[in-house]
A = this chain, B = another copy of it.
């Protein structure tokens, strides 16, 4: 039975007060039962995932298919992720601040759920359980709009989670997956004024742009990551090699992977040949996919390299491709990053504190690293339990969004007849 997107929004509105007022004990009990149901339904989920994957072969790149593939350990990791969320503090009902005014008014600023959160995502089915568990823990109803290519997997996961909610005595409509995977349903969510308190698009640049340009409901821009690593002249070469390797190759399909490496002119002749050995020759020896290096003319004078076109510095490759550029100083690196960054994550590799300080203060991105990989921009790595997305805008939330980023607040003011 297919339910319209409008009906789904109406149902969320009906149940949102119940989940908003649920106490921590009840929400945690529901989360545990949701995790149990996922494990119980593992075979069904993997079966649905196999069907999704079979249909995707040939239509999607291998890197994109990797993003949607599940196996037993990934399902277990999803369940474990939910259990981790139960251990986190309840973000709702916290007195953020309290003040007594000279006229005797007592003003409490108290955290409250946002209400109804809608998430539009693409092909990573684990988003279904991450998003749902964080929404429930933060007292929000959630509407999930999965990509067509992973819909069967998401649907099995959502059914499991809804079963868990019901077993805990909460309305299952606090978690709903939209049946309609056409563009129409996304536009209905973007226009859901009065129903949707927050819309989070998670996916490619096209989806995010469509949401930002069309949404009439509050929306958070997430994820597109053209992440830079600047290898300073004071860099420790071994650290730099290992950081660039990790940031590029450990999981090239995700948004915190590096796409561009800027190298200080003074160390380029030492660094670039070693980088090529590490990312190309060593990987071939190890029977791994080598990284395709693209570089500017100065790079080509040092190593044999494919020339980089202008748009190579503005592309989220999400693949084994790295754009290289030689810069004459840190200032040029900062200017290049400010002009080409998507505001996600950037790193400097340097042993010089002053260079590090200049970089961290001048770079205006969600996460700015010194001597570490951009791959750490992640709710789990930041200690949030898991994450609902990585915001690349500055309003409301920036960087990995965990539980408290899914709440708002209200002021409760107690008086004794005060007038103004």
Q: Would you give the 0/1 interface string for A381-402, flagging 1 where the beta carbon is closer than 8 Å to chain B? A: 1110000000001111011000
- A242 contacts partner chain B, Cβ-Cβ < 8 Å: yes
A213 with B216: CB separation less than 8 A: yes
B381 with A101: CB separation less than 8 A: yes
A373 CA / B417 CA spacing, docked (Å):
8
Residues of B within 8 A of A418 (CB): 371-373, 376
| Residue in B361, B373, B399, B420 whose beta carbon sits within 8 Å of that of A420 in the complex | B373
A373 with B218: CB separation less than 8 A: no
A372 CA / B103 CA spacing, docked (Å):
11
Residues of B within 8 A of A414 (CB): 356, 369-372
Residues of B within 8 A of A356 (CB): 414
- A63 contacts partner chain B, Cβ-Cβ < 8 Å: no
In the assembled complex, how far is the CB of residue A45 from the closest CB belonging to chain B, in whole angstroms? 26
In the assembled complex, how far is the CB of residue A250 from the closest CB belonging to chain B, in whole angstroms? 6
- A24 contacts partner chain B, Cβ-Cβ < 8 Å: no
- A107 contacts partner chain B, Cβ-Cβ < 8 Å: yes
Residues of B within 8 A of A371 (CB): 414-418
- A366 contacts partner chain B, Cβ-Cβ < 8 Å: yes
A365 CA / B372 CA spacing, docked (Å):
43
In the assembled complex, how far is the CB of residue A143 from the closest CB belonging to chain B, in whole angstroms? 16
B398 with A99: CB separation less than 8 A: no
- A50 contacts partner chain B, Cβ-Cβ < 8 Å: no
Count of chain A residues with a beta carbon within 8 Å of a chain B beta carbon: 66
Q: Which residue of B lies closest to A214 (CB)?
A: B216
A420 with B381: CB separation less than 8 A: yes
In the assembled complex, how far is the CB of residue A22 from the closest CB belonging to chain B, in whole angstroms? 12
- A368 contacts partner chain B, Cβ-Cβ < 8 Å: yes
A394 with B218: CB separation less than 8 A: yes
Known: A212-B216, A367-B411, A410-B368. A417 touches B376 (CB 8 A): no
Residues of B within 8 A of A383 (CB): 99, 101, 107
A365 with B212: CB separation less than 8 A: no
CB contacts under 8 Å to B, within A134-173, are none
Number of chain copies forming the complex: 2
Residues of B within 8 A of A246 (CB): 419-420
| Residue in B20, B213, B375, B399 whose beta carbon sits within 8 Å of that of A410 in the complex | B399
- A223 contacts partner chain B, Cβ-Cβ < 8 Å: no
Residues of B within 8 A of A410 (CB): 364-368, 398-399
CB contacts under 8 Å to B, within A213-242, are 213, 216, 218, 220, 236, 238-239, 242
Residues of B within 8 A of A395 (CB): 114, 197-198, 218, 220, 395-396, 408
Question: Which A residues are closer than 8 A to B by beta carbons?
Answer: 17, 20-21, 99, 101, 105, 107, 112, 114-115, 193, 197-198, 212-213, 216, 218, 220, 236, 238-239, 242-243, 245-247, 250, 356, 360-362, 364-373, 375-377, 381-383, 393-396, 398-399, 408-420
User: Other CB < 8 Å A-B pairs besides A20-B364, A371-B416, 11 of them?
Assistant: A105-B372, A107-B382, A193-B212, A239-B417, A243-B419, A369-B413, A372-B418, A372-B419, A373-B419, A373-B420, A375-B419
What are 7 sample pairs from A and B whose C-beta atoms fall under 8 A apart? A17-B362, A114-B394, A115-B364, A368-B413, A369-B414, A370-B412, A373-B419
Closest 7 CB pairs of A and B: A372-B415, A246-B419, A394-B408, A396-B396, A239-B417, A218-B395, A375-B420
